[in-house]
Every structure is written in C-alpha cells, then in structure tokens.
Amino acid sequence: MKIVEFSTAYAPALNLALAQSSVGAELLRIPAFVEHYFLGNGSARLYLLMSDQGEVCATLGSERVRMEIAGVETDVSVLSNTFAFRPGAFPLLMMQWMRGCTTGMVFPGNALLRDMVASQTRWIGVPGLRIHWLNWSHPSYPGDSLLKRVAKPILRRLARVDVASLGRRIAADTQGRLVLEEVNKVDDEMVACRGPFSLRLAETASYYNWRFRTDLSFVKYRVFKVVKVGKVGGFVILADWKKSVVVAHCDGADVDDLSRAVLLSIAIVNDSGHRYRKVLLSTMHHRMQSIYQAYGFRPEPKETPFFIARFKGDALPSVYPEGLVNLDLWDGGLIVGLVYRP
C-alpha cells in the first residue's frame, strides 16, 4: 500500500475504482470538478490509497483554508470526498492526513467517519450548525401509502413560498437602503467586510475567485455585492441550479444586513420563471436563524454535526457561539445541487 497525491496520471485508476464501486462519490465522477478543485489551486489536494497492484482503495480530499476562530486566524484543513473502495482502507489515509495538519475540520457524511472522529478526544464536536430550507418539505418515498402519495404533492403546493416575493418584503423592511449588485468577481472591499462571527472563513478575494468561479461548467455560481446607503457591506455567493438554489457562501459586516442580503439575492435569481425553486442554506448564528425563519425558512430537526481538532500548537476553544459556516465550506452544497430531484 502507498499514499499518493492525485494527478492526471492517476485519473484512469480512479475512474476504474468509481466505475466498479457502488459508492456515491458524485463529485469525483465529474472530471471538470476534479480538475478545478484538486488541480486548479495549491490549497486543495486529493489523496489516494493505492494497492501494490495500482488500484485505488480509498480517497481523501483536503482543502487548506484560512479561518478566524475566536478572533485568531489559523490555517485549517477541511476534509472532503472521503470514500473507501475496500473495507478498512480509509483509516490509514485518515491517520496520515491528521499527521500533516495543524488544525483539522470534518463534516462527517457517513456513520463510519462520524464514529471515527467522535471516539477520539482530540476532536471537538461543534454544536449549533443547522440546515435551513425553503420549499423543500414533504418529500415522497417509495414506501409511502396511497394516501401519502396523494396528499404530499398537495401539501407541497399549499406550503410553497414564492421566493421572488422575498425581494419586496426586504425592500419594505429596509426602506430600500439595502441593495445588491451582481458582479463577476469578489474584490478586496467586499472581503474586508467581516462580521462579529466566532468562526468564519477568512480568505482573500483571489481565493473566492478561484473557489467560486462564475464560468465553471458543472455549477453556476452567482456573486452579489452587498451595498447599504452607498457603502459596501459584504457579499453573497449562490449556486444557481435548475431545480434549486444553494447559498454557497456569504460574509458581511452586519448580521442583520447580511441575512437580508442573502434573502434578497435568492429573490433576484428566482425572479423569472423559477419562483418556487427549493432553497437551501446553513447557519450557526442565532440571529441569522431567527431572520431566516421569519421569512419562511424551516430548520432541519437535527443539527449538522461537524468537528474541529488541533494537532499542533495551543488547544482550541471548545465552544463557538454565533459562527458563520456556509454549505460550501465543505462539499455539502455542491452535492445537494447535483443529486437533488424534485
């Protein structure tokens, strides 16, 4: 067994492992995503555990980002795209990854990974992250009774929200002082607007312009500059899918203004022919949660688990109230957009 860093030379072996496996790995099955994310910038890497016969046994993606944690900026390695094609193969990759990190962050997408990190005292479970959705209620399942199959579409229609109408409510609530400008790139002025969040991504404009490029083939990102009374107050980035809208990232100087800017951006992209699309976002901040819910968003019943660990240096705080953790800090947002079916 050996661990290698993915390059185009290993693409045939990876594609073969994916073709022979039943694991989802939706993102790794998109060559354009793999090229952009893992080969387009030095901060993100995909590691492969290879057998002596040259077969891919497991994968582990890692993106090194700059984050502000309790007022201190630090490098954090965010885990993603973790899959095992052979039983027991992944823990070896995981242990090697932890040895190379100063600080790690994990959003477990499966029970195996969740149990691995939860059983180690070095990993701190962070409470408070909750997914919020609009027009995403009453899904149908194959085992539903006839009554449920008939009733659920009716309930969906009755409960749905005209997303485009949010714009009128925001304009009334802010007296028209809050406006958005759609732009192709994030600039330094937008990035400089940082709110009072205990946990947040603290990257440069060049990072956001790589990570959320507006001309990618596999996702359509749309970038909005937040302006209040002529002053820049932050930015919002949406993933604009055919059947859904995902708030990929946002940041700003004022919590209330940023929350309403997110809602206003959602209204803008839904203003022509897509008024009842599904919308998904994530937040840890109680004030943001209350604003979203006041405008019709519903929280998931359970929090989304994630963990932070410090492998080198001083210990991290164990509580992060009022953080800003968006869906595309990990691969949650992209996966939702790719796999969602109405």
Angle at 105 between CA 315 and CA 33, to 5 degrees: 155
* pTM, 2 dp: 0.91
Compute the distance between CA of residue 335 and CA of residue 322 in angstroms, rounded to an integer: 25
The model's pLDDT over 292-335, given as tens digits with 9 standing for 90+, comes to 999 999 999 999 989 999 998 888 876 677 999 999 998 888 98
Q: What are the distances in angstroms from CA 175 to CA 180, 228, 288, 294?
A: 14, 11, 20, 18
Label residue 10 exposed, middle or buried (CB < 10 Å: 0-12, 13-18, 19+): middle
Mean pLDDT of 121-144: 77
pLDDT of residue 154: 41
Instruction: Choose the final residue of a domain: 121, 140, 155.
Output: 121
Kindly state the tokens that stand for 206.
């060049």
Question: Are residues 225 and 296 located together in one domain of the fold?
Answer: yes
In a domain, 160, yes or no: yes
In 215-267, beta strands by DSSP E: 221-228, 231-240, 244-252
Residue 336 pLDDT: 85
Same-domain check for residues 204 and 182: yes
Rounded Cα–Cα distance for residues 83 and 79 (Å): 11
311 located within any domain: no
Do 102 and 175 fall into the same domain?
A: no
229: left (phi over 0), alpha (psi -120 to 50) or beta: left
Which parts of 40-128 fold into alpha helices (H)?
A: 90-99, 111-118
